[in-house]
């Protein structure tokens, strides 16, 4: 098999068309240079150069081989740099899972920051429910997920990235919009509740049930759906009201009012980042560091807004952030 040194010797001679100048260019004497080219020709099995006492010329096969030799040398020279960039996380691939509503909170800021910081990192985004994300992370099909709840597993690391209250989504003409005050859970319990499927949306289902149960209430649950967007469609149709994350108000349905709930926790809905403890993806390490900076910026913004008065009818709340 020919060597990289032989390719470099051939390229130098082919470009200079003179063994003496090629040897000078490579900082070597002419005899070993000639032997390198001869060994290359024996390995390739064809004549690459025609030589006379006065001239050197490429054969047609040599001209073609020159193009490939340059490409191989360029790849060989680039390989260490690319390897270093992969090791540093500036080149690579990060597969990110997210739930539908989480796209309205930190996902956009995080992906934009990652793209700006590491434009050579391929970002693969997949919208998935929490259970599917957890399974995909364990199977190494996702690098990191933004999901609801913190999975219990010794091989997974989690981090709270966002927390927000539940608000009531009600039709614009609903009596709750005319109370002149924020509704209480007891007020909401008098209406049919459109809620979450206990299997595919277990986190939100259990959260809503727990919120009412802690207040000693047992409302009528009329519909069980997976996606918040589907619940809002039924609310607009007048089939009931729904408890949704505050960020869902960014969907801006025209015939729905989002009402803060007087006696509901201000940070009930948690969003976690989740990844394998034993991951070996340097690009993921970079992505997680950037996520941390996004979390800090969001937290700073909430603290500033919280220090002021209530704005636009919304409570300004600060999430509880911790690494687990």
CATH number at residue 226: 3.40.190.10
Same domain, residue pair 99 and 243 = no
Q: Are residues 256 and 170 in the same domain?
A: yes
Q: Is residue 323 part of a domain?
A: no
Same domain for 80 and 108? Answer: no
Same domain, 41 and 183: no
**28: closest CA among 12, 51, 42?**
12
* Amino acid 318: pLDDT: 30
Same domain, 159 and 279: yes
Domain match, 200 and 236 both:
yes
Residue 99 resides in a domain:
yes
3-state secondary structure the chain: CCCHHHHHHHHHHHHHCCHHHHHHHCCCCHHHHHHHHHHHHHHHCCCCEEECCCCEEECHHHHHHHHHHHHHHHHHHHHHHHHHHHHHCCCEEEEEEECCHHHHCCHHHHHHHHHHHCCCEEEEEEECCHHHHHHHHHCCCCCEEEEECCCCCCCEEEEEEEEECEEEEEECCCHHHHCCCCCCHHHHCCCCEEEECCCCCHHHHHHHHHHHHHCCCCCCEEEEECCHHHHHHHHHCCCCEEEEEHHHHHHCCCCEEEEECCCCCCCCEEEEEEEECCCCCHHHHHHHHHHHHHHHHHHHHHHHHHCCCCECCECCCCCCCCEC
The count of structural domains within the chain is 3
Which CATH number covers residue 68? 1.10.10.10
Tell whether 320 is covered by a domain.
no
Q: Are residues 61 and 129 in the same domain?
A: no
Residues 119 and 172 in one domain: no
Contact indicator for 316, 126 with CB cutoff of 8 Å: no
Residue 322 located in a structural domain = no
Q: Which of 88, 103, 133 is the last residue of a domain?
A: 88
Q: Are residues 190 and 74 in the same domain?
A: no
| pTM as predicted | 0.66
- Can you give the pLDDT of all 324 residues of the chain as single tens digits? 889 999 999 999 999 999 999 999 999 999 999 999 999 999 999 999 998 878 899 999 999 999 999 998 888 877 776 666 566 555 688 999 998 888 788 888 898 988 888 777 889 999 998 889 999 999 999 999 999 988 888 999 999 999 999 999 999 999 999 999 999 999 999 999 999 999 888 999 999 999 999 999 999 999 999 889 999 999 999 999 999 999 999 888 889 999 999 999 888 999 999 999 999 898 898 899 999 988 888 776 665 555 543 333 332 223 333 333
Chosen domain end from 46, 62, 88: 88
**Do 133 and 172 lie in a common domain?**
no
Asked whether residue 235 is assigned to any structural domain, the reply reads yes
The verdict on residue 67 lying in a domain is yes
Residue 318 lies in a domain: no
The residue range of the domain holding 14 is 4-88
Same domain? For 100 and 55 the reply is no
Please check whether residues 18 and 76 belong to one and the same domain: yes
Is 121 a domain residue? Answer: yes
Domain boundary among 41, 71, 88: 88
């Amino acid at each position: 098999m020919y060597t990289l040194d032989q390719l470099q010797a051939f390229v130098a001679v082919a470009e200079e068309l003179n063994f003496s100048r090629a040897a000078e260019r490579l900082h070597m004497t002419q005899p070993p240079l000639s032997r390198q080219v001869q060994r290359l020709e024996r390995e390739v099995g064809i004549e690459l150069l025609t030589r006379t006492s006065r001239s050197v010329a490429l054969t047609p096969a040599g001209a073609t081989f020159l193009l490939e030799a340059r490409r191989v040398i360029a790849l060989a020279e680039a390989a260490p740099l690319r390897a270093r960039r992969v090791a540093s996380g500036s080149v690579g691939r990060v597969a990110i899972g997210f739930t539908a509503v989480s796209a309205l909170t930190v996902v956009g800021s995080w992906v934009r920051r990652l793209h700006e910081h590491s434009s050579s990192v391929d970002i693969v985004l997949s919208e998935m429910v929490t259970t599917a994300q957890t399974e995909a992370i364990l199977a190494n099909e996702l690098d990191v997920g933004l999901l609801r709840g913190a999975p219990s597993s010794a091989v997974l690391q989690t981090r709270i990235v966002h927390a927000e209250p539940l608000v009531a989504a009600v039709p614009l003409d609903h009596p709750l919009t005319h109370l002149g005050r924020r509704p209480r859970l007891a007020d909401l319990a008098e209406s049919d509740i459109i809620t979450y499927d206990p299997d595919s949306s277990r986190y939100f289902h259990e959260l809503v049930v727990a919120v009412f149960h802690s207040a000693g209430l047992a409302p009528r649950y009329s519909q069980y759906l997976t996606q918040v967007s589907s619940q809002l469609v039924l609310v607009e149709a007048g089939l009931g009201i729904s408890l949704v994350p505050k960020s869902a108000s960014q969907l801006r349905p025209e015939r729905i009012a989002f009402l803060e709930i007087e006696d509901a926790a201000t940070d009930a809905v948690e969003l976690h980042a989740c990844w394998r403890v034993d991951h070996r993806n340097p690009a993921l390490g970079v992505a997680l560091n950037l996520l941390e900076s996004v979390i800090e910026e969001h937290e700073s913004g909430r603290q500033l807004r919280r220090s002021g008065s209530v704005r636009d009818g919304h409570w300004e709340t600060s999430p509880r952030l911790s690494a687990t």
